[in-house]
């Protein structure tokens, strides 16, 4: 864990039994009944945001913005079988992740999240308790980040679950950070370590295949997943329950630090560094030896005969912050142990390059990241 964000507990055997014994189909309580239950969970997030004058319950949410602050807005959609798999993802974790991925985009602007609107398309096979599990993850994460769930919409879905989150954040104009402000000769900095979420995804995919094979062969599936995967806990947690770097944004605000450019790493270090460089019209040279990859991630890569560096470069779903600062400002960030300097910006003509451990320069544009629309 890299921040103080406490985990929502996954459904244990005990409360799963409770959920099953009190199974209630959504048709039994109807749309308004469901909204009442969701509103009760959303209400617990309201005290942290007094500027929200009206939450769920009217036609619109009402928010009173501060005259001194800019607002930033983002939206992100999670779709069953595209962004997650319910065979390997507890609903509570998924709810939390839907919030974190949006908070991460707000943080990438050096802003803090204030409120969110949540739209759900729910398959008819879902019970009321399953929707509540999902929403408990949503409201728990919202409270951890200090944002309010101000409203939303629910619909039935004829295919899989879809969660769409829109989020509003705020930042003082003098702290607002875009992707476009970097200049040649600045330091390229990164929060946290990379590769863990990709390692977690590979492990979960392997576990799912083992389970499906057992089912196909009519064998009982007796693996105690949590016991067997204990040593991989951190990587799986980073995949299922990413934590946006709101701690780093709070650090920036406390020290009045404005990076010259910033982006969150949702696609992977390589593609997101290229995005930042393109918007800033600079090149970059990063150093393989400086990219933080945990020993535990390298061990998993060895076990799966995969490559931790390529996970770090193109794995995606990291939700760490990648930013640039002028060299003279380094002392201001030096005390923050979550931040590593991994390279420097160069003239745009140099391109975006990785210097490997032998000093060979590799053009990062030749390495592909995760593509939502693969050809
Ligand atoms: Mg982003």
Region of poorest pLDDT, from 44-48, 148-152, 235-239, 299-303 = 235-239
CATH 3.90.650.10 range(s) for the chain read: 187-366
The alpha carbon of 40 and the centre of ligand 1 are apart by a number of angstroms equal to 30
- Please check the confidence at residue 117 and state whether its pLDDT lies above 50: yes
Q: How far apart are CA 196 and CA 298, in angstroms?
A: 9
Taking all residues of the chain, what is their mean pLDDT, rounded to a whole number? 88
The alpha carbon of 128 and the centre of ligand 1 are apart by a number of angstroms equal to 32
The alpha carbon of 253 and the centre of ligand 1 are apart by a number of angstroms equal to 20
Q: How far apart are CA 362 and CA 286, in angstroms?
A: 10
The alpha carbon of 319 and the centre of ligand 1 are apart by a number of angstroms equal to 8
Range ranked top by mean pLDDT from 55-64, 251-260, 299-308, 366-375: 251-260
Tens-place pLDDT, residues 21-30: 567 777 777 7
The alpha carbon of 55 and the centre of ligand 1 are apart by a number of angstroms equal to 27
Tens-place pLDDT, residues 300-315: 899 889 999 999 999 8
Superfamily of domain 187-366: PurM-like C-terminal domain (3.90.650.10)
What proportions of the chain, in percent to the nearest 5, are helix, strand and coil? Answer: 40, 25, 35
The alpha carbon of 58 and the centre of ligand 1 are apart by a number of angstroms equal to 31
- Please check the confidence at residue 12 and state whether its pLDDT lies above 50: no
- Please check the confidence at residue 369 and state whether its pLDDT lies above 60: no
The alpha carbon of 74 and the centre of ligand 1 are apart by a number of angstroms equal to 9
Residue 221 has phi, psi (to 5 degrees) of -95, 100
- Please check the confidence at residue 159 and state whether its pLDDT lies above 80: yes
Tallying the residues shown for the chain, one arrives at 375
Q: Is 252 exposed, middle or buried (0-12, 13-18, 19+ CB in 10 A)?
A: buried
Tens-place pLDDT, residues 205-219: 888 887 777 777 766
Of residues 371 and 139, the one with the higher pLDDT is 139
The alpha carbon of 43 and the centre of ligand 1 are apart by a number of angstroms equal to 28
**Full-prediction pTM beyond 0.95?**
no
The alpha carbon of 19 and the centre of ligand 1 are apart by a number of angstroms equal to 36
Q: How confident is the model at residue 321 (pLDDT cuts 50, 70, 90)?
A: very high
112-123 and 69-79 strand pairing = unpaired
The alpha carbon of 216 and the centre of ligand 1 are apart by a number of angstroms equal to 39
The alpha carbon of 104 and the centre of ligand 1 are apart by a number of angstroms equal to 7
Q: What percent of the chain has pLDDT over 70?
A: 89
CATH 3.30.1330.10 range(s) for the chain read: 13-172
Tens-place pLDDT, residues 55-112: 888 889 999 999 899 999 999 999 999 999 888 888 999 999 999 999 999 999 999 9
Range 13-172 classified under CATH 3.30.1330.10: yes
Q: How confident is the model at residue 1 (pLDDT cuts 50, 70, 90)?
A: very low
The alpha carbon of 103 and the centre of ligand 1 are apart by a number of angstroms equal to 10
For helices 246-254 and 91-107, the axis angle rounded to 10 degrees is: 30
The CA–CA distances, whole Å, from 303 to 88, 143, 271 equal 20, 37, 26
């Amino acid at each position: 864990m890299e921040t103080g964000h406490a985990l929502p507990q996954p459904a244990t055997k005990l409360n799963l039994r409770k959920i099953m014994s009190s199974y209630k189909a959504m048709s039994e309580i109807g749309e308004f009944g469901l909204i009442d239950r969701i509103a009760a969970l959303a209400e617990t997030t309201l005290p942290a945001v007094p500027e929200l004058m009206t939450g769920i319950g009217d036609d619109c949410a009402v928010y009173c913005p501060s005259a001194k602050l800019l607002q930033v807005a983002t939206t992100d959609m999670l779709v069953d079988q595209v962004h997650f798999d319910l065979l390997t993802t507890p609903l509570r974790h998924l709810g939390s992740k839907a919030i974190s991925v949006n908070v991460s985009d707000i943080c990438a602007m050096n802003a803090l999240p204030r409120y969110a609107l949540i739209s759900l398309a729910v398959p008819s096979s879902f019970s009321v308790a399953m929707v509540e599990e999902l929403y408990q993850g949503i409201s728990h994460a919202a409270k951890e980040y200090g944002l309010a769930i101000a409203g939303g919409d629910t619909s039935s879905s004829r295919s899989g679950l879809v969660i769409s989150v829109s989020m509003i954040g705020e930042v003082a104009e003098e702290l607002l950070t875009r992707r476009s402000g970097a200049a040649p000769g600045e330091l390229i900095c990164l929060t946290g370590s990379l590769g863990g979420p990709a390692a977690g995804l590979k492990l979960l995919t392997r576990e799912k295949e083992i389970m499906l094979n057992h089912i196909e062969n009519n064998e009982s599936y007796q693996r105690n997943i949590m016991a067997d995967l204990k040593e991989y806990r951190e990587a799986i947690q980073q995949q299922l329950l990413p934590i946006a770097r709101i701690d780093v944004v709070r650090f920036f605000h406390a020290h009045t630090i404005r990076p010259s450019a910033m982006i969150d790493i949702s696609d992977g270090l390589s593609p997101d560094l290229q995005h930042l460089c393109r918007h800033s019209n600079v090149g970059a040279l990063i150093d393989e030896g400086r990219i933080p990859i945990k020993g535990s991630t390298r061990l998993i890569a060895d076990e799966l005969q995969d490559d931790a560096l390529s996970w770090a470069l193109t794995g995606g779903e990291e939700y760490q912050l990648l930013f640039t600062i002028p060299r003279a400002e380094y002392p201001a960030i030096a005390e923050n142990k979550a931040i590593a300097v991994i390279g420097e910006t160069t003239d745009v003509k140099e391109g975006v390059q990785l210097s490997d451990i032998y000093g060979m320069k590799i053009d990062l544009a030749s390495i592909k990241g995760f593509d939502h629309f693969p050809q």
